[in-house]
Structure 1
Amino acid sequence: MYYLDITCLLISCLFIVFVKCMDKNPAPRFGIYERKDGRYFLKVIFFYVILTIIGFKRRLSNLRKKFRPLEKTQTLSFSQKNIDVISLEGSDKYGDSVILKITRRNSKQTGYMFLKIGESKFKASISLDPYVDKNEDYGETFSTDDLKLNIIEPLKAWKVTYRGEMADCDHNISKTHKVEVQGIWITDIPVFHFEDADALNFAKCLAYEKWNRDHFLNLKRMIEGFVYSSKENKTYPIQSSSLQLYKFGGIKDPPQDYGFTIRAGKTDYQIQVKVTDTSQVSTEESRNITTYFQTNTVEVNGINGWGISKWLYQNIE
């Protein structure tokens, strides 16, 4: 009888501890960045199983060859949160760069283009409201009045055409220039689909959010990158990252010199970033977001390189 009482007491204590742990609900950092709640580990397990099954089914069905449907313009619902986006970015070791994006909604189409050539920086913001489909070859083209993106090879090559006005970024923003751009955007990096992301890392990111119907609408942390090995011509999904966005959140002042580590393909990478130029770009796409584009020099495990970074800050005042 004595042992039975002790067992019941232990079970009761464990149950109370379990309930207390499940009740754990820390406030988000800066009111934005979620922290681990009491259900975090249960959610990690749940999402890990789901994502592993999705990845396994994708490999069996050989979906890697079916990329063209992903690149076409998609049928959208009437929700303003349902969007179809194409975004292309590129830079060279001299800091010259191009960033462009077209976002489709049923009621509106927006886009922007950013060019940096030497010390000169130009931007253009495009907004069509209401949205009128101007595609000549529907499904193969994203286009606005000035900017047109045509598929040449799915997820590999796009034809870029721009004819219109662009404004100075940092000096006289009222001064505009007539600009014409024609080129081909090409990448030789193997295709990386979001389902190629590391399942455990993806599950941890999803598990940070509250378990409710707004779960996927309020995601504030997502690690979905990859490391490309030119020797192997292979991509490795990022498994972990030490970069904590909340350390740069709320200040609207992107870092100029920072470092972090990532792990991919059983290799740790130490990354040091030094910013060479920062530009704030306002677009009509979202009035509650402040966007910064940066050109950088980068050192990865002692190897020098360059790149572009984009920081988006939510205006919560």
Structure 2
Amino acid sequence: SQPGKWFHVKFASFYFILWLRRLKTKIMKPLPVGDLETMKPLSKHEKAFDATFFQAVSQNGFYFCGGIERRHQAKANGLFYIAVPELGLLESQKLPNTLLDSDPVSVLLNKEYGAEGISFAIAEPMKKWHVSYNGKMRLQKSPDRLLDVKLNGEWTSDLPYFLFETDISLNCLAKAIARETWTNEFFKSLKTAHQTHYEQMGYFTGTLSVGHKSYRLEMDAFRDHSFGYKRDWSLMHRYAFHMMYLQDGTRVSIGIVSQPVTTSLLEMGYVVLPNKTLQCIDSCDLLLYQHGEKGNPGKNYAFSFQANKQTYEAKIQVIYESFHYKGNNIEAKLIERFIECEVNGIKGKGISEWHYNNFKNPNQ
């Protein structure tokens, strides 16, 4: 959608509404972090979900990312990627298929996210998680080669978390809502498609063994947690997320989302400075239609964004990439990309995820 003649009026009115809600939230007692962090009971909707995702990078070229999206009938959408400089990219064995059987302990006790060798278990809310993978992985450049892989370690953090419901830039959200045509159906869609989502930057320390070789890992890391009444991947048109970890300690999470039933263009994200303060991103000039609209985003590109009145220029180079499917392996195609980046002249590493609606062209 493009801004209409009433855009500025709609922007101002919705900004004020959001500001009042934000003020009310600050006055009221916030939800305890322990309640946010617990595994959530699934709603009765067939597309009910509770999902967590972890990633980590090191400046010497190691990467990993993995996630579990809990679903009904003891199923989960699960995935794991690990990049080792001397080997290349490793992929969990069933990829691009992500439909896995949840571990019985995970289903019965609701104390850890677990499925077919992938495990994420909380130790202390917003402070420490145990992360592990134990199973076969396929070497991307030699698909017939399966390797025994074990990853064990701890994700820890002393950094603030970012709850999108209360922390997203008011400017970004009001701008996104003001672009749309306001109808009863539109506001109903905003309510029914709502999800709780928060993210937190941190650190990962652990060990990795691939075959007979072992590695000690010290990495910058990230995790998120999402839950809600339903997650319907068919509603999403496209998105592009970038998580960047710079050599000076700066960290960036930025996303551009197009979900036409709610917002056709929503910019979101934040910068965590080396002094551990967090700043909201207020704008970004990465336009989805200019980057891989037909399903193949470029491997060298640049964009800029603003946070706290400072402009950041980001340059991206893709080192490895792969893809997988979600939504019954039909609705969504996600391209996972492991990148080198440079932001305002400071180099770093990162992970990017590009989503495409795959519902009309399943598994293409």
Range into which the TM-score falls when normalised by the shorter chain:
0.7 to 0.9
Shift of 1:200: 1.6
SS of 2:355's partner is strand
8 A contact 2:103–2:114 mirrored in 1: no
The number of residue pairs the alignment matches comes to 280
Residue 20 of structure 1 is matched in structure 2 by none
Change in Cα spacing, 1:312 to 1:171, as seen in structure 2 (3 Å) is farther
SS of 2:265's partner is coil
Alignment of 1:63-212 (within 5 A): 63=30, 66-107=32-73, 108-118=75-85, 119-124=87-92, 125=94, 126-128=98-100, 134-135=105-106, 138-172=109-143, 174-194=144-164, 195-211=166-182, 212=186
8 A contact 1:164–1:179 mirrored in 2: yes
Residue 227 of structure 1 is matched in structure 2 by 271
Query: Which of 310, 325, 339 is the equivalent residue of 1:296?
Result: 339
SS of 1:204's partner is helix
Code of the aligned partner of 2:288 = L
After superposing on structure 2, the runs of 4+ consecutive aligned residues of structure 1 that deviate more than 6 Å are none
Gaps of 5+ in 2: 194-234, 236-260
Shift of 1:262: 1.0
Alignment of 1:19-58 (within 5 A): 34-37=1-4, 40-58=7-25
Q: CA RMSD in A?
A: 2.6
SS of 1:277's partner is strand
Query: Which of 230, 249, 253 is the equivalent residue of 2:296?
Result: 253
- Kindly indicate whether residue 189 of structure 2 is the aligned counterpart of residue 214 of structure 1: yes
Shift of 1:80: 3.5
| Cα deviation 1:171-194 (Å, max 9, x = unaligned) | 32x432232221112234321111
Change in Cα spacing, 1:306 to 1:162, as seen in structure 2 (3 Å) is closer
Name the CA distance, whole Å, in 2 between partners of 1:137 and 1:185: 24
Residue 26 of structure 2 is matched in structure 1 by 59
TM-score where L is the length of structure 1: 0.78
Give the number of the structure whose residues are more often strand, by fraction.
Answer: 2
8 A contact 2:89–2:320 mirrored in 1: no
Name the CA distance, whole Å, in 2 between partners of 1:282 and 1:136: 23
8 A contact 1:77–1:106 mirrored in 2: no
Residue 357 of structure 2 is matched in structure 1 by 314
TM-score where L is the length of structure 2: 0.69
Code of the aligned partner of 2:142 = H
What fraction of aligned residue pairs are identical, expressed as a percent? 25
Name the CA distance, whole Å, in 1 between partners of 2:306 and 2:99: 40
8 A contact 1:73–1:138 mirrored in 2: no
Deviates more, 1:259-268 or 1:235-244: 259-268
- Kindly indicate whether residue 241 of structure 2 is the aligned counterpart of residue 269 of structure 1: no
| Cα deviation 1:103-147 (Å, max 9, x = unaligned) | 012243221111111133211245346x67532884442112321
Shift of 1:41: 4.0
Name the CA distance, whole Å, in 2 between partners of 1:153 and 1:285: 32
Change in Cα spacing, 1:260 to 1:71, as seen in structure 2 (3 Å) is same
Shift of 1:88: 0.7
Choose 1 or 2 for highest CA Rg. Answer: 1
Name the CA distance, whole Å, in 2 between partners of 1:80 and 1:67: 27
| Cα deviation 1:275-297 (Å, max 9, x = unaligned) | 22222345675423222222222
Code of the aligned partner of 2:33 = F
Name the CA distance, whole Å, in 2 between partners of 1:242 and 1:251: 19
SS of 1:54's partner is helix
Shift of 1:62: 4.7
